[in-house]
Amino acid sequence: MLRWHVSKSARTSALILAVLVLGLASDHLRSRAHGAFVESQSYEDTYYLPPNAWLRVFSLGWDEAFADLIWMRALIYYGDELRHDGAVQFVFRYGEAIETLDPNFVAIYSWVGMASLYRPQATTVDDIERAVTFMRRGAERHPNDGELAWDLGATLAYELPPMVNDTEAADRARARAVPFLVRAVQLGAAPRWATMTNAAILTRIGRTEQAARHLEEMYDQTSDPRTRQRMAARIRQLRGEVEGEAFLATMRELEAQRRAHFPYAPQGLFLLLGERPVVDIDGPIRDGLPAALSHLDSDEP
């Protein structure tokens, strides 16, 4: 019995050893096969997806999941294009495919704008306009997305004007950017300096009144002292010394009231709340209760 027990243990050990050897050998062969496959691949700028009208058919009802798969493929495609100095010519088709399947995929709108402009090959005005058209659809569908509004406005205000040689065309591009830049500031998605830049753009295109109103609107929402000083100086220039100082005096008074009544609330919230009223509890009880009781005693309906 002892001899049989030893023999059985040896067989088990040999079997385990054989399995380990086979596992190592198969892993080595798999690595060599994968390396050979990678070396055999060649770069090609090709788009394999079906027309957008057929995408929902192929998704079998899993539209968002299919959109996620295309999104991952689009990221790989963009990386390959950067590596091989490609033209990134199919970035819009990837974006439109994802939009078809999942129009609420907000990230795709800004990504298409970035990927179509920042690429190895030269960018044209038509490329920028196509990116703007795509991002505008996203901004209209998602009006409360401040980052998308900023990306779209910045593309129109800073990317497009240097590409055109006509000063009037550049100013028209800046004018198209204004609604999105202002929205981005209002939603808190723009850089700190954006308010002053927006005012400068509005002034450049002749919208002085709108520039002043934009500065006045954002003045109480700006907490940085240096930025507020610059905004105050600009308001005085646009409104005139007397009118500008009157506005700033009003804002200082509102700030003093906020500190006195709601020091824990930001200025924007305080403008909705107003001053804290004095609550008279005894008066309604003293005056209203007897009247209510007399009404119950009467025969009036």
189: Cβ contacts below 8 Å, ≥ 6 apart: 145, 146, 147, 149, 150
Residue carrying structure tokens 């920042």: 118
CA distances 19 to 6, 9, 33, Å, are 20, 15, 21
Give the 3-state secondary structure of residue 299. Answer: coil
Output the pTM of the full model: 0.68
Segment 107-122 shows an average pLDDT of 90
Q: Say whether 118 sits in a helix, a strand or coil.
A: coil
Task: List the Cα angle 136/101/66 in 5-degree steps.
Answer: 135
Distance, CA of 27 to chain centre: 44
pLDDT band at residue 144, thresholds of 50, 70 and 90? very high
Whose CA is closest to 111, among 158, 71, 58? 71
* String of DSSP letters for 263-285: TTS-HHHHHHH-SPPPP-SHHHH
Per-range mean pLDDT, top range of 154-158, 204-208, 254-258, 283-287:
154-158
DSSP state, residue 1: -
Of 213 and 276, the structure prediction assigns the larger pLDDT to: 213
> Tens digits of per-residue pLDDT, 38-48?
554 555 667 78
Q: Tell me the per-residue pLDDT of 245-255, one tens digit each, with 9 for 90 and over.
A: 777 777 777 67
Q: Report pLDDT for 288.
A: 55
- Mean pLDDT in residue range 79-93: 87
pLDDT of residue 2: 45
Please report the pLDDT score of residue 88 as a whole number.
85
Render pLDDT for 233-242 as a digit per residue (tens, 0 to 9).
Answer: 888 888 887 7
Question: What pLDDT score does 245 carry?
Answer: 76
pLDDT, residue 4, reads 46
pLDDT tops 60 at residue 34: no
What number is the average pLDDT over the span 203-231?
84
Per-residue pLDDT at 45: 63
Question: What is the Cα–Cα distance from 80 to 93, expressed in whole angstroms?
Answer: 16
